[in-house]
Amino acid sequence: MSSCDSCSDSSCSVKQPGQANDQQSQMRQALDRRMCGVKHKIVVMSGKGGVGKSTTAVNLALALAQQGNKVGLLDIDLHGPSIPKMFGLEGQHPNADENGIYPLETGDLKVMSIGFLLESTGDATIMRGPMKHGAIQQLLSDVVWGELDYLLLDCPPGTGDEPLSAVQLLGSRAAAVVVTTPQDVALTDVEKSLSFCRELKLPVVGLVENMSGFICPHCGGKSDIFKRGGAQKLAEKTGIKLLAEIPFEPLVVIGGDAGQPHLLAHPDSANSEALRTVAKAVCDYCAAD
């Protein structure tokens, strides 16, 4: 049985009668055909930059894969793709044939980013609204994802073109994980992300409070350098579940720069344990969906 035969999305254009009669319809069918093989789509987003969203997306994808799932990670930060560096894959390029573009694989994870399509890591991606939508549609429909349990999308900060296009293109069985840090200046912007999800009828799995306390690498003590508990207050205010409070550890930064994700390099850390908690919450949510 093909993935389209088992697709549960009643709006899927592949399941509609008739033939695609224009280019846009053909592109939509190509996208739906590819997404039929993906059980769950998780949009990792935040209204605020600098909250560790990409780090969360990378390690959450790895945690889901470690639980025996087939996982893909798509970087849709078109202007500042960081996923290639965080996996130590800078300078590598995907293979392609008549079937499409093949994502790079690292361990059990399939990874794709516009960064893999640039000639140099220093090249700028210069595009505006309609071009961004088209680029994200191509990354979703032209990439040979195969059968996946989860496809995670790492979005740039804010509620602009990239997350809007992603939500519009993904179809059903998509949900969001929203990342914040504890301080009020971040929470104010992150609340806008929750409003974005409500407006677009995108379910929210829950909130992740990142950098929730600093763990000293020397004494093991914990200091609340960005305050603590802000995400819990936002969760209570909005009715959105708080999935985990992830502490900040200097080794996370070192690993990200070195292309060694923290969950793999330090699986027994408090940070890694919190990320596995988030992964379990995502699995439980999707199982009940």
Domain boundaries, the chain: 23-288
Q: What digits encode the pLDDT tens for the residues 169-204?
A: 998 789 999 999 998 889 999 999 999 999 999 999
CA nearest to 178, candidates 112, 243, 109 = 243
Residue with structure tokens 């769950």?
A: 40
CA distance 145 to 169: 15
Q: What is the largest CA-CA distance in the chain?
A: 67
Residue 1 is predicted with a pLDDT of 43
Among 3.40.50.300, 1.10.357.10, 3.40.50.450, 1.10.340.70, name the CATH number for the domain at 23-288: 3.40.50.300
CA distance from start to end of the chain: 23
Residue 239, classed as helix, strand or coil, is coil
**What's the predicted TM-score (pTM) here?**
0.90
CA distance 258 to 101: 26
Q: What digits encode the pLDDT tens for the residues 255-278?
A: 999 999 999 999 999 999 999 999
At residue 17, does pLDDT exceed 80?
no
Residue 71, classed as helix, strand or coil, is strand
